Every structure is written in structure tokens, then in C-alpha cells.
Structure 1
Amino acid sequence: MNEPSSRTPEGIPHRCDVCGIEFRLNRSLAGDACCPNCNALAWPIGEEGHESQRPSIKTSTAKTKEVRIRPESEDMDLGDQLHRVISLLRKQNDVSVSVLFRGRDPEHQVMGKAVLERLVDSLVPEHAFVKTPAHIATRRICCTLSPSKKSGGE
């Protein structure tokens, strides 16, 4: 009864959680592998000396955060938002800056675009570069900034 059955794949050393018997488990075979002694399902846990499979897809660590401002923002509010954008860029996040329009504000898109340009111009050479230029989307003007190479982790 302790001999390996024909259903037991050969490969990675494994110990059964139920009965404690040691046998070899092959991860390359599709389907479930069972313990040859008690017929319990065996999971490939004991992988000493074997490389685990790495995911083939590279994931980006950059996250996009959004900062919203209003077209009639005063210099003090704009300075606070500027500090917030700089801190997000230092954490290597992409930042989407949006100028929001409410009510009859869309009539003042020139003023909103000027506020956005003033904010972007104060950031661009030192802390960020423009990933997507300013574009108008219904009731907002959006622009995406990415951290520059020299602002990483100051």
C-alpha cells in the first residue's frame, strides 16, 4: 500500500497533509494530484530547490491620482494644490489635474485654462513632464503629469 500508484506524478518532493507520507509531485501535469496512500488531494507546497514560476506580465507601479481645482481658485488655494501635486509626484504617482466647471462656469473656459497652465508651468521643468496635454471634456479641462527623472525620491 505504500508503493506509489500509477496516478502519482513524479517531480517535486511533497508530504501529504493527511497521512504524512512523502512522494513526488509534478506541477506540469494538468489536473489534481492525489496522495498514493490516502487518496487526499495534494497541493504543490514543498518546492525546495525549484524555481517558482514568475508572472510573465509586467505591471506598472505608477498610479494615477486626481487633483481637482476650480477656475476661480485664489493664489492660496492654488499653492495648496501645488504642494499636494508635488507630494504625489515625489511618490512616483501620475497626477491628473482637472479644472472643474459648475453651473455657468463653462462660459469661463479661458479663465480655467489659464489656471491650469499656471499650475502646470510651475511644475513642468523641475518636478514633472506633461504626459497628456490639456483637453476639454464636457465640464472639465484635464491634463496628466508624470514625475520627472530627477524628482524621484527627493
Structure 2
Amino acid sequence: MGRPNGEIMTTILKAYFEAFNAGDTSAMLDCLTEDVAHHVNEGQIRVGKVKFAEFCAHMSHCYKEELTDIVLFEAEGGSRGAAEFIVNGTYLATDAGLPEAHGQTYRLPAGSFFDIRDGKIARVTTYYNLADWIRQVSK
């Protein structure tokens, strides 16, 4: 008898967030399906691991972030989940169309939603308040 779907979801999401906090893009990619749909806040949907890895490389260049106060939620059946967390970050390099970076720090509540398929993350949708982030880094 296999593990319940909810346990699989919790395990994969914990691994995903641990990899994020370790800055380990390769381990994050191991948590994803090949055709993962990555819905970013205020951006386009990126499909596939290659696009996800490109996004992570860009983010690592511009930002240093650690997620804390992570709370995981799961839908009945374990095929969908969510996480609420605090993004603790440093703005390292100016990102196009955003305020100039000079090492500003920020603390931002955020959330992500997930679809789980065959024990992997098939969709990641992340939301945060961009206006709040801009206010924090514009000081």
C-alpha cells in the first residue's frame, strides 16, 4: 500500500521549500514535472523546467531570499496544495522596470498554490503584494 496522496504532497512541498531556502535550483527542479506551469506574480506563465530554471537564475542574480513561517495546506485528495510564508529578502541587482537596487532588505507576506501530479509539482502559482515590495525597497 502506497502513501496517502496528502503525505506525498506534504513531502514534495517541504522538499521544494527546503531547496528554495538552500538556493539549490537543481533540487527544486527535481520536485517538478517536466511540463510544470509556473505562474509568477505580475508576469507571464512559464512552461517547463528549462523556463523555471531560467527564472530561478534571474531571481538569484537580483535577489537573495529566505522563506520563513511556512504553513502548508492541502486540498482533500492531495492533488492541490497551498503555502503561506514570509519572504525575507535582499535586493541585490536592479531588476528591469523596478526601483534601483542598493542592498535594500524587505519582508513580505506571500503565498503559493500547487497542483501535484504523479508525486511532483505540476503547477506553481505565487502571489505577493508588489506595491508593498516597491514601497519597502524605495526607502
TM-score category (smaller protein): under 0.3
Structure having the larger proportion of residues in helix: 2
Which one scores higher on RCO, CA 8 angstroms, separation ≥ 6? 2
Larger radius of gyration: 1
Structure having the larger proportion of residues in strand: 2
> Normalising to structure 2: TM-score of the pair?
0.25
> Normalising to structure 1: TM-score of the pair?
0.23
